[in-house]
Amino acid sequence: MPRGDKSSYTDKQKRQAEHIEEGYKKRGVPTDEAEARAWATVNKSSGGGKQSGSGRGRKTSNAPAKKGGRKGGAASARRPAAARSASAKKAARTRASSSRKSSSKSSKTSKSSSRSSSKSSRRRSK
C-alpha cells in the first residue's frame, strides 16, 4: 500500500477527517496542512486505518478532539477583557432568544395536544 493511501480507512473515519479538515479550513489553515492535521487527529483517536471486518476491535479515544477546547481557552485568555465581555454578552443574547423560541414552540404543541384530548373526551361522553 503506497504512503497516503486511504483505502484501509472506514467510511466513518473518512467522514470524520473531512469534517475536521473543513473546521481547520474555516479557521484559515492552508488546505494541505488542514488535511494532514485532520488525518493525524483521526489516526490518533482510532489507531489508524480500520477497515470493517479486519478484526481490529480497538476502542476509539476522544482525547484528541477534546484538546482543541483547552487550546481555545488559552487563546481566549490572551484576548482583552472587553473583547471577552462582548463575546459573552452576545452568547447570552443568543441563548435567551433561542430559549424564547423553543418555549413558544413547546407551548403551542401543548395547547394543540390539550385541545385534541378534550375533543376525544367529549366524543366518549356522548
Residue 119 pLDDT exceeds 70: no
Q: How high is the pLDDT of residue 7?
A: 82
Residue 111 pLDDT exceeds 70: no
In single-letter form, the type of residue at position 109 comes to T
Name the pTM for this structure: 0.47
Q: How many CB atoms lie within 10 A of CB 17?
A: 20
Mean pLDDT score, 69-81? 74
pLDDT band at 115 (very low <50, low <70, confident <90, very high): low
Residue 122 pLDDT exceeds 60: no
Q: How many CB atoms lie within 10 A of CB 42?
A: 28
3-state helix, strand, coil in the chain (%, to 5): 75, 0, 25
Helix axes 63-78, 31-46, angle to 10 degrees: 130
Residue 83 pLDDT exceeds 60: yes
Q: Which helix (H) or strand (E) holds 118?
A: helix 81-125
Q: How high is the pLDDT of residue 116?
A: 54
Q: How high is the pLDDT of residue 120?
A: 54
Per the model's pLDDT, the better-predicted residue between 120 and 13 turns out to be 13
Q: How high is the pLDDT of residue 32?
A: 94
